[in-house]
Structures are given as structure tokens and as C-alpha cells.
Chains A and B, each alone.
Chain A
Amino acid sequence: MKIPLSWLRELVDFDIPAEDIAHGLTMAGLEVGDVIVVGGWENCSVGFVERVERHPNADRLVLCTVDLGEDAPHQVVCGAPNVAQGQKIAFAQVGASLIDARNGKLSKLKPAKIRGVVSRGMVCSERELGLGEDHDGILVLPSDAPLGMALDDYLGDTILDLEPTPNRSDWLSVLGVAYEVAALTGNRVRPPEVLYTEEGQEIRNLLSVNIQDADLCPRYTASLIRGIRVGPSPRWLQKRLEQCDVRPINNVVDVTNYVMLEYGQPLHAFDYETLLRQRIHVRRAYTGETMTTLDEIEIPLGSDHLVIADDRDARALGGVIGGLDSGITEATTDVVLESASFDPSNNRRTAADFSLRTEATVRFEKGLRPDLPPLALRRATQLIQQVAGGTVARGIIDVYPEREKPRPMLLTTARMKQVLGMEHSMEQAASVLRSLGFDAAVENDETLRATAPPWRSDIIIEDDLVEEVARIVGYDSIPTEMLETAIPYHDGQELRAFRERVRDLLVRQGLQEIISYSAVGLDLLRKARIADTDDDLLTVSNPMSREFKYMRPTLRASLMNTLSYNVARDARAVAIFEMGRIYLKQGEDLPQEPEIAAGLLHGQRTGEGWLSAPASYDFYDAKGIVESLLGRLGVEGEFRPLADDFLHPGKAAAVSVNGAVVGSVGEVHPLTAEAFEVDGTVVFFEINVTRLFEAMPQARQSVKPLYRFPASLRDISILVGRDVPAARIQQIIDGQPLVERAVLFDVYEGDEAPPGQVSLGYRIHFRAPNRTLSARDVNRSLARVLSLLEREVGAVQRGAGEGDVA
């Protein structure tokens, strides 16, 4: 909403700079996005073109003699095709700063010699003055422009570009903003004086209005002006509209727009002659009914839509747009002016149904009060008579079936104290409210009674009054205090704390955290071999684009995307993880949103340094991350081979904790890696943190006693079939009574191992809690380990007896 200060000044006095007004409005809740200064044209004034002659040396140039009301006229060279004798124009003398039409920059006007003729000054175009884009010809001023007047005084203005909040329909009006300015400056608003003469017949003998659906139209007022002449509006009216970005059309339509800008109440004008039997019915449309709008679009109506109809046809879509056939034309002589209230929800829905958000609907949808229409109606009637002539029929139509009673509200010091933490005196509060146009009466030291003005539809409860006082006095006056009451306890923080711990542990293992978009496209899921169809996916109805059509069912796809993106940018080592939610459809309920931690490792594990031999990430890096994570959380994972389309069929494992599957680890399927243009191995892990949290043992962790007696170490080396899982061997060794732990320290699968066999080296730690073990104890236990290994998995000791003491 743009409002020129010149218009505001008509309604309220203020003598502070525009910047201060802008600041005050912004602090009080009406943000001023921009203060646009129109003008600053030094050495420019209104001129009169006395004579236009041919340029002696150029066909397309003319010599203009311009009178500025001074002694001597000025002669300048001009190239504009539209310059003509007798015009009022904007004339710039030497020294004026104008916008150079070629580069848009300001430059000082100097005397020039154009094709042999000296030119001292210039007849300006809109663009040169910064008033618009037009540079096809000069700006022609109205003939009543005062000769010699400084252009700043004639055309200059300052325009506030306002960003009103959706609750304040009155901030879409000059009057509404004037009351804000009045409250901020302590001045009084002068509402427009509305005076006109009514003549001839009573309007009710000339027009009837019947509201059939009062739920959608609580009040309908109308006036009738006959014998008018439709034509262009006077310059002052056009200028105002243009300053507010409204295009002038004709004097009648311009007045309805002007009053809408002034009062915030949209109006509509019908051609009286086109209304069949001069009867208006405000009713829901019939099923199958249609109407052609002013924009010449035929729209299909239904019982959800409110129309303004004559005895036969819908003539306007109430509060949204007029119909083509009843609009004001050059031929119109008699005008019915409509100023009515419409149901905000219905108005908003109707506008949405036909994509017709108009200047009217953005106001009606905010819920204009029924008190407003007659005020705006009378103002518009006056202006139409003023600019288009004609006679006004006696009285107005005012159909208002269920008259709203004035709703005085109480404001108490107690509530102010309870909400703001401070009090204002009732006198001060009343004075603020009055300056905003409220009726306010102080009842006693603790109470006042206030009634909102007709243009305020946002004042519903006492706290609304509290805000009015607080925002006008200024939030700076409210004190600053810390919360001092007891701290409440809230459930539901445990999972989050656990998740943050997992995040910490992954970062500590050297991974870079990423955060990806929560939605994915089917193309990406297909590329990652995750899903072929969208059957089980949670679908966004109005996605930003195809790539964000589905809420992600996994973090895998976006991790691969991130890997691919960075590999394409020369990342040599990628070790990333994301901690985020996935979204799993759950019938009619909201989806499940489990927390997932998943990561990818690719490229050089060891970095490029001189200290380390190059090595790439492999399966056991990913597994090691999961093992360390679980170990640090105090649980042990169980790993079993897993079939999963995303992963390499021979290098994938499911991870379980306390019997519950909580995730997976594996090498990304080479086809997937290839699809994402990643060369070499990519390894992956994924933990469902929500499920892991549920699988965590309930018992409190207890501290184990510290060792008191030394351990004895033995290394063994065994040959065993390749199909025997290391986990099985580990289980057998760990199961022996004196074995504290065993570490697989060597694996040999090379040529010297017998076919189908692998050589494994284990370092076994023996320890007893209550004594130092003798060599005999240890040897006996070791022998049992070996014989069990032989019996259970056919393991044979290799090179027995050598180097078996560490």
C-alpha cells in the first residue's frame, strides 16, 4: 500500500520529517518498507510552449520557445514527437539534475550546441524526471498547471510504501494510517467533510434492494446519481490514484477506487439502466448460473458464491468483481453506487475459486465492519457529483437486517499489569485510544470503557486494547524482568538427549555432519535403487518441484547425492553422516518420523600425508564406526549377513542390539555408486536411533571392579574353513572360563593358505579375578580353547608352540 504524504496531510497535521513518521509507524506495528521521494528537481519549473519551429539543420528536431513567466522566454532544441505549441510542460534550466535516459544515472544539465543551434535547457520526459519509464515523448502537464511554479511544488511528493499486517484492513486506507499518525504525533484527524445536495425523488422509489442471504451480506447500502457525464477524472484525482499504483479509468470508477483508498471500504458502481426493473437481489448464485466479469471471463457460479443480481441475472460477484454488462461505460448517465459488507471467509473462498484476488477482496477478507459502508457511500456520492455532475436522489438505500449493537469494551489497569507487567493511567490510556479514533470514557481509576471506530475490525478482546495502548506509548516503556518462578519439568526429552549423544559420538569418530532436504524425487530414489514406485511414499500435494515431491523414506538417497556432488568437486576423502528424520506413512494417522543416523565413507581413509601409506575406506571402517558407537553407548551389536538392494550382496550386514534390528552396514552396491558417478568403494552405515533407544537396556550401567591380578597373554594361529564366521570363533574363545578377551590380530587368505582355508591369529588375554594365573592354568585353558575350536569349527593350530608367549 502506497500513501503519498500530501494525502495524509490533508487529513492530519504533522511537522516531523517523513523518516520520523516512517520510524514511528514501524515501531507501532505498521512497517514502512520504503520512503520514496518524488522530486528534488532543482531548476525545474512549469513552462508554456509559446512556439514550435523547424530546426534549420535537422528534420527530426524542433526549436521550442518556452515561457516560464519571467522576462525572457527560453529557446531550446527538442526531439520529442509530441511537443506542440500551447502545451504546459516541465522545463529544466541549465544546472538541473536529470536522469540520463541512456544510462539511468543522474547528470547535470549543461548548455549544448545541437546541430549548430545553442540550447540552454530542456523539455523533460517522465523518465528524465524519474517519474516513470516513458521516454517516447515529453511529459505534458495539465493546462491548469501554474506557470513558473517550481516543479517540486507542483509534482513533488513523498510516498510511504507500507507493509500492513493481515489483521489491519484500516491500514489499507489513508484515513486508517492518518489515525496512526495522529496518535503518534498527538494531533487530531480531520475526516473529509461530506456535504452534497439531494434532489428529486426518494431513492427507494427508484431502486429496491433485497438481501436474501444476510449471512453472506449483513449490510447493503446504495445511492443513485442521475444525469452524470462519464469521462476522464480531473488531474488531482488521477494523480492520487497513480501515486497509489491504481490506474485511472473514468471519473466514476476512479471515485470508487479513491474512496476505497481513503476509507478502506471497496465500492462498486452499476449502470442504473442495465439493472432489470431496477431491482437488486443479494443472493447465493443458482447452480449452473454463470456471469461474465469485467475482465470478460465467463465464470461458472454455484451456491457458495454470493451475487448481486437484478430480476434476472447476476450483475456482480459480491465484493469480488463486477459483471461486464452492468459496468460503467461512456454512455452511462445514471449510476447506482454500492457500498456493502460481505462475509470475509466466503469472500476469500470465492476469490480463491476464481483466482480473483482484487483490491476489494484483500480488504473484505479481513472482515470490514458493517458500520463502514454508509460513511464511504456518502463520501463517494459527494465525489461523483463533484467530478461527474448529475443529481443525487434523496436518501440512501440501507438494508441492514441484523443491526450490530455498538460493543463497548472494558479496559482495566489490572489486565494491563497482568499482561504488560506495568500500568498506564486510565487517563493516558483513554487519550491514546481517542487519538486512534476510539470512543473512550474513563469510568474510574481502574477501568475505562472504549468503543472501536467503524474502520477497526481487529479489536475483539480486552488484550487488543492493551496492545493499542502499549504500542502507541511504545514497547520501550515496558520493563525488563527475568523469569523467577519454579522451573517446570517436561517429558519427552530423553530420546532427544540420546540422539544428541549419538550425533556427538559420530562427530568424534571423524565424520562431517550434513543436513539435507527432507523431501526427495522418485528419480533420485530409483537412481539409488531404493524404490521403483511411489506406492508407500508420503506425497506432497503441491511440491516445490519434482525433486521434492515425496517426504524421504530414507536418508540413503540424499547421502549418495551429497557424495556425488562433492566427488564431482574433487573431494578425495568423504566421511559424512546425517542425523535426521524419515517419514513413514501410517494409514490415516500422521506418519512415523523415526530419527535416523546414516553415513557414507569413500576415498582415502588415511589422507595424503607423507606419514601414511594410501588406503581407502572399506567395509570394516563402516563397521568399526558402528561398533565404536554401540560400545560407547554400552551395548554390543550383532552383525549378520543381509540382503539389501542398496548394498553389495556379499558385503552387507544387519545390526542388532538386544535382539532388535537397529540398522545396517555395508558396501554400497557398485551399480548404485556407478549411477552416482562415483568410482571405487563406497561404504555405508545406518542406525535407526529411535529403535536403538527403545532397545537400550533399562538397567542402570554399573561400574566393574578394577583388575587386581595380572593377565597372561597367548597368541594362537589357526587354519579354518573360509565359511566359518569369525563371530563363531570369537564366541568359542570368549566362552572359556579364564579368557578375559581375545583380539583377532591377523588374517591371512593368501596363496600359502590351503585352498578354501583362512589363517587367523588371535591374541588371548587370560585373567582370574582372585589370583595370579600360573603358566599351567593358562596352558590348560589354552589347550581347551584349541580343542574346542577343532571340535566345533574344524580349526587346526598352525605353527603351534612358536612365539606363543607375548
Chain B
Amino acid sequence: MSMTSAQLIEDLGGVQSEALDELQGLTSEESLEEWRVKFLGRRGRLTTVLRTLGSLPPEDRRAAGQEANRTKTLLEEELGAARRRVREGRFALLAEQEQIDVTRPGRPATVGRYHPLTQIIREMCDAFVSMGFQVIEGPEVEWDHYNFEMLNIPSDHPARDMFNTLWIDHKDAEGRQSMLLRTHTSPMQARTMEKTDPPVRVVVPGKVYRYEATDATHEWHFHQIEGLAVDKGITMAHLKGTLYEFARRVFGPERKVRFRCDYFPFVEPGVDMSIDCFVCEGQGSVNGSPCTVCREAGWIEILGAGMVHPKVLSDVGYDPAIYTGFAFGIGPDRVAMLKYGIEDIRLFYSNDLRFLGQF
């Protein structure tokens, strides 16, 4: 049987309208695939028509070919559009078909927690690290020599009363008690300077111990962060600048800072730094009742500091005429109590998970 181009074009038209008709009612990806096989597949209707293209006279082939390609492109485009329509329709149903109860509790991931003192010590050390201090540590069981003697506190010095000491069962060659639990982190001042030539710029966090009856604000066992900076040209202005910056970072820029004179045997002049009370805003009372945080003072003592005593410097072989420095000691337990509104220091060491779980 021989074909004419007109006949072929008519056939193409028939396939096209039949295909488009059928395509209209299809709603699933499977039926679209069946449709594609039926019309556009290797044995599909359009292909079958196209196979007859070769039997046309050469002069007819061009026009019929163009028509055939047009039909094919049209059907493919329509298929693409139908596919998009079907996909969109499927996702439109997700809400109905795949809905879960989003208000049920999720699957918990296990997340650990740092002890609040670890957090505060890191925060405080970080503030000093950013000012060029390096973090080192030292022994908690110490010699009297480093804990007192090298800090300008000889035996029988009344300043020893400031440091109620827990002693270790140990006698030196002369039968004296010489080993103790460090009462402050300050022994690292002499230890560091003995080991290093100036300049020095360190902070020393760690546990310290005092023979002290415990109550809500006193523990026999707490933490301290020692700071020491020694170099040529270090003055009390640097001490103030460093501690201002520390207070700004840890307590926020709105806090006021106050420096007053105080006495520690290993510094001269001595300093005590307070911040204004953030509970009563320095007023001493809240809504007419006395502020319990600052005990009506309006100020809270945060740390002791001062210029390193020339005796401390010369005892480690630094020339106090050339080198000056400052030292400070801060209690992170107290800082954490203030920051988090903790009223009993003993909570830090009783390790109640209901408490620790809040940090």
C-alpha cells in the first residue's frame, strides 16, 4: 500500500487528537508512563506512523517530516506538562496523606553539661586570655615556703590570720609543719617567677582550701583565679585597666567598678575591687526592703589585687627597681553565685543533678 503525504498528515492529526484526549484524564505517573509507551514508545502509535515516512516520494518527505516532528514535540511537551501537573497534585495531598502529630515530644539527643564553676572559670580565664594572659596551673598541696614565706608572710606574721590553714601531716627536718593545702592560688606567683625571666603574664585557676566553718557563703574548699603581670613599666593604671576590662566582659558594660585601698601582705599598694550591686542597682535596697545581695552596701567586693610587693620580686631574683607588676585573686564561686543568683555556695559541691541540670 502506498501512502501519500496528505494521508500521513491526516494520520498524524488523528494520533495527536487521540493522544491529547487521552492525556486529559490521566492523574497518575503510572498511567502517564503507559500513555508515553502507547503513543511515543518504540512501538507506539506515533512511531508507527513515522515509520511510513520512508515510503513517501522524496518530494513529499520534507513537509510530512516537519509535520511529524511538530506532532512529536507537541506530544512530548504535553507529556511534560501533564507530568508536572500530576507531581504537583501528589504533593498537594501530603498534608492529608502523611500528616503526623508534631506536638508529640521529639527524640531526645543526649547533651552533657559542664559544672557551672567550669563554665564560669572558662569565661573568666577567656577574658584574661584575650588580654594576653596565659593559663597555667600549680599544685594544690603546697609548701609553707610558697604559700606564705615567698609572699612576704613569714611565720608568726599576723596576716597569717587572714588565711586559716589546713595542714598536711608532715614534718620537715626541723620538726615543723611545712606542707599545707594552699590557701590561695598566689603560691604560683613565686613558682612562675622562679622558673621564668620577666616578662610574666599568667592567670592561674584552681582549687584552694581554708579551715573555715561552712555556711551559705563560706566553704572550706573553693576556687580562685590568680593573675600576675610583671614587666618593665607596669603600673597601677594597667592594673585598673585590666580589671575594668575583665569586669566589663564578665559582668557587662553597664556595671560600675570601684577600687578601694585594701591590705594583702604580698602587694603594695593593695586594692579591693567592687562592682555596683546589680540586684539593687547600687541603691542598697529593693522596693524599700534591704538588699540581701550586697547587704545594703550597694557594692559587691569581687576581688583583691595590688602592685606586687618589692620584697616578693626581690625574693625571686627580680630587681624591683627595674620591674614592677600587679597581681590579683578572684573567687569564681562567688562570681558564679552573683551571676546566677545562687544563694548557697555548698550547692556547687553537693552535686545535686536538679541543680547542675540548670546550667
Contact = CB atoms under 8 A, between A and B. Distances in A.
A12 B229 CA distance: 41
A542 B211 contact: yes
Most chain A CB neighbours (cut-off 10 Å) among B118, B211, B236, B311: B236
A779 interface: no
B269 A466 contact: yes
A28 B260 CA distance: 6
Contact of B141 (A483, A551, A607): A551
B356 A512 contact: yes
Interface string B323-359: 0100000000000000000000000111111101100
B141 A543 contact: no
Contacts of B271: 475
Contacts of B356: 512-514
Interface residues of B, number: 91
B259 A515 contact: no
Given A471-B269, A611-B107, A490 B192 contact: yes
Contacts of B33: none
B112 A512 contact: yes
Contacts of B3: none
Interface SS of chain B: helix, strand, loop or mixed?
mixed
Contact of A483 (B134, B201, B265): B201
Contact of A165 (B196, B221, B263, B353): B263
A482 B238 contact: yes
Given A467-B270, A540-B169, A548-B220, A515 B118 contact: yes
Interface in A558-580: 562, 565-566, 569, 571, 574-576
Interface in B133-173: 134-137, 139-143, 154-159, 161-162, 166-170
Given A166-B159, A471-B261, A510-B110, A591 B235 contact: no
Interface string B249-270: 0000000000111110100111
A507 B359 CA distance: 13
Interface stretch (B38-46, B81-89, B240-248): B240-248
B121 to A, nearest CB: 10
Interface stretch (A252-260, A417-425, A766-774): A417-425
Which among A493, A514, A569 has the highest number of chain B CB atoms within 10 Å?
A514
Given A166-B161, A420-B236, A509-B110, A488 B134 contact: yes
A107 interface: no
Contacts of A496: 135-137
B156 A541 contact: no
A349 B166 contact: no
A610 B105 CA distance: 8
A475 B348 CA distance: 35
A480 interface: yes
A406 interface: no
Nearest to A583: B141
A514 B111 CA distance: 15
Nearest to A472: B261
A464 interface: yes
A516 interface: yes
Interface in B222-248: 229, 231-238, 240-242, 244-245
A467 B235 contact: no
B269 A463 contact: yes
B131 interface: yes
Contact of A167 (B118, B131, B159, B238): B159
B240 A483 contact: no
B256 to A, nearest CB: 12
A480 B240 CA distance: 5
Contacts of A648: none
A510 B112 contact: yes
Given A419-B324, A538-B169, A565-B350, 19 more contacts: A165-B263, A166-B162, A419-B236, A421-B238, A466-B269, A479-B240, A480-B237, A481-B237, A483-B238, A489-B134, A490-B136, A493-B134, A508-B112, A518-B140, A519-B221, A544-B166, A548-B220, A569-B352, A593-B141
Interface of B: 104-105, 107-108, 110-115, 117-118, 131-132, 134-137, 139-143, 154-159, 161-162, 166-170, 177, 179, 181, 192, 195-196, 198-202, 207, 209, 211, 214, 220-221, 229, 231-238, 240-242, 244-245, 259-263, 265, 268-271, 307, 309-311, 324, 348-354, 356-357
18 contacts: A28-B261, A345-B156, A418-B235, A419-B324, A421-B238, A461-B268, A463-B269, A482-B238, A483-B229, A488-B200, A509-B112, A513-B114, A514-B351, A515-B115, A541-B168, A551-B168, A593-B139, A593-B140
Q: What are the 3 A-B residue pairs with the smallest beta carbon separation, nearest first?
A: A510-B110, A421-B235, A421-B237
